[in-house]
Amino acid sequence: MVLLSIYTSAEGAKSIDYYTDPQAIIEKISKEGAYKIVWELFENTDIWGWIMKKISSGEEEWLKVAVALSPGTDAHAGETLFSALGEALVKAPNKVLTLFSDDFSIKAICSCPDVDDPRFDTKSKNLKELEKRKKTVLSLSDKKLKSVQEQCLKALEESRREVSEWFDAQK
C-alpha cells in the first residue's frame, strides 16, 4: 500500500500517516475535534478521496469513521461524505440506516449520486444507481428499520424526480 503524506508549514513537518487506520482517525477526532481533522484530511484530495472510497465500501469500521467525521463537515466535504454513504447504502443498508442521527440526514444519504461523478453523469446512469439503491432498501426486513426504510424510500423517489427534471433541463 502506498501511504500518502502531506506536510503543513504552520506546524513544521507534520505527516498525516494515521489516515489508513479507522481507529486512529476516530482517536484523532476524539482528541482534536472533528472540524480540525476533517480540514486536515480534506486539504489533501488524494487522502480525502481514499477515505471516502473506504467509507463507500460499507465496512463497519469505516462507517464509524463517517459518523465521527460528520460533525466536522460542511459544504463540499459534507457532500462527498454523504455521497460515499449513499454508495455504502447499496453494500451495507442495515449498517448505514442504523447510523442515522441528527448528523446524518436521510435525505442526504438516500439521494441521487453526484452528477459530476463520471460513473453517474448521465440521466440513465444516475437513475440506474437510484434504482439499485431503492431495490436494496426495499429488500430490508428488519422491523426496527421500518420507519427509516420508509423515509429513505420516499427520499429516493424524490431524488428520482429531481434527477429527471435536472437532466431534462440540461438539454
Q: Is the predicted pLDDT of residue 12 greater than 80, yes or no?
A: no
Cβ-based burial of 104 (10 A; exposed 0-12, middle 13-18, buried ≥19): middle
User: 3 lies in a domain?
Assistant: no
Domain-embedded: residue 131: yes
The whole-angstrom separation of Cα 51 and Cα 120 is 20
Residue located via cell numbers 459544504: 75
- Using the structure block, give the residue that is written with the C-alpha cell 487522502: 47
Q: Which of residues 7 and 167 earns the better pLDDT score? A: 167
Q: What's the mean pLDDT when you consider all of the chain?
A: 89
The answer for residues whose C-beta is within 8 angstroms of residue 121's C-beta and 6 or more apart is 115
Q: Is residue 87 part of a domain?
A: yes
**In this predicted structure, what is the pLDDT of residue 14?**
53
Residues 89/109, Cβ–Cβ less than 8 Å: yes
pLDDT (0 to 100) of residue 103? 39
Q: What is the pLDDT of residues 135-151, one digit of tens each?
A: 999 999 999 999 999 99
- Contact of 127 with 164, CB cutoff 8 Å: yes
Establish if 115 belongs to a structural domain: yes
Radius of gyration of the chain (CA): 17
pLDDT tens sequence across 52-62: 999 999 999 99
What is the pTM assigned to this prediction? 0.87
Count of domains forming the chain: 1
Domain span at residue 58? 22-169
C-alpha span between 71 and 3 (Å, rounded): 26
Residue 122 inside a domain? The answer is yes
Q: Which regions of 4-84 does DSSP assign to beta strands (E)? A: none
User: Could you tell me if residue 31 is inside a domain?
Assistant: yes
